[in-house]
Structure 1
Amino acid sequence: MHDFVLAFLGGTLLGVSVVGYLYINGKIAGISGMIGQLVHPEGLFQKPAFWFLLGIIVIPFIYGLFVQPEIVLNASVWQLIVAGLLVGFGTRLGSGCTSGHGICGISRLSKRSMLATGVFMLTGAMTVFVVRHVVGAGA
């Protein structure tokens, strides 16, 4: 039950923040798009994307002060770098990421976002299957 409550609260906070960002700034809260806005650093502290992304980075550390999550990372630095580059390539190829398409797009009933999210999820499931059952890596 405890996990359900935390997931429910997290989802609620995420939904409220995404809707708030859309209504206050008139922009979709897609993380890859926000990072793209920060490429040009002039007026960095005036950009809402900066503060939104800062919150995404800082809040887990604050949460960690009160709750000690058990996180085990079984990947090398090189695997993480390659994974990050592939995700970056995928977000450019798909014109957005899971936050932009999956959270914001589906909630706006965007057919394009529904298709993109379906492709993301299917690709992720196939990757896990191949890594765990074909290659034999992972737990």
Structure 2
Amino acid sequence: MTFQIPWDALFGGMLVGTACLALLALNGRIAGISGIVSGALSSHGREAQWRGLFLLGMISAGVFMPFIGFELPDYTSLAPALTPIVAVLAGLLVGIGTKLGNGCTSGHGICGMGRLSKRSIVATLTFMGAAFVTVFVRLHL
């Protein structure tokens, strides 16, 4: 096995970090996706506008990246049993976890830890620990 530096992931992470920093510095807002989505559904005026544009940018980036030379990962080999019903159920579980944790992985893991928030550090350790256990159980037990 040889080690390769995942340049695309490194570049993508730098873009995400830069976007989070820009949103905080220029707008005073945290780039937590669950908060942005819920706020987009309940806000009006300029508040709803920036949230909608942020979400549109995220969605359009995923749509247009293959057209400018980036290859999207093929997840079918990792999750061959993924059906629309399973995907909806998984999305609902993520939404419930987001509500229980007062934020999502982007809000706590990227923005909160970057601000050294104790609550975000605990939340990130919790969901990463749960993810490690889930992967271990799924792949090894």
TM class by shorter chain equals 0.7 to 0.9
Corresponding residue for residue 106 of structure 1: 113
CA distance in 2, matches of 1:131, 1:2: 26
Asked if the contact 2:109/2:120 (under 8 Å) is kept, the reply is: yes
Give the TM-score, by structure 1 length. 0.87
More deviation, 104-113/122-131: 122-131
Asked if the contact 1:25/1:48 (under 8 Å) is kept, the reply is: no
1:117 and 2:117 matched: no
CA distance in 2, matches of 1:94, 1:129: 23
Corresponding residue for residue 92 of structure 2: 85
Superposed CA offset, 1:34-92 (max 9, x none): 00111136437852111111111111221111233341332111111111000000000
CA distance in 2, matches of 1:48, 1:70: 29
RMSD of aligned residue pairs (Cα, Å): 2.0
More deviation, 79-88/125-134: 125-134
Asked if the contact 2:39/2:48 (under 8 Å) is kept, the reply is: no
1:68 and 2:71 matched: yes
The number of residues matched between the two structures is 134
Corresponding residue for residue 137 of structure 1: none
After TM superposition, where is structure 1 displaced by more than 6 Å over at least 4 residues in a row?
A: none
1:128 and 2:135 matched: yes
Q: Which stretches in structure 2 are left out of the alignment for 5+ residues? A: none
Asked if the contact 2:40/2:47 (under 8 Å) is kept, the reply is: no
CA distance in 2, matches of 1:83, 1:46: 27
Corresponding residue for residue 30 of structure 2: 28
- Give 1:60's aligned amino acid: G
Q: Which stretches in structure 1 are left out of the alignment for 5+ residues? A: 135-139
CA distance in 1, matches of 2:32, 2:108: 7
Corresponding residue for residue 8 of structure 2: 6
- Give 2:71's aligned amino acid: Q
CA distance in 2, matches of 1:60, 1:128: 25
Give the TM-score, by structure 2 length. 0.85
In percent, how many aligned pairs have the same letter?
Answer: 41
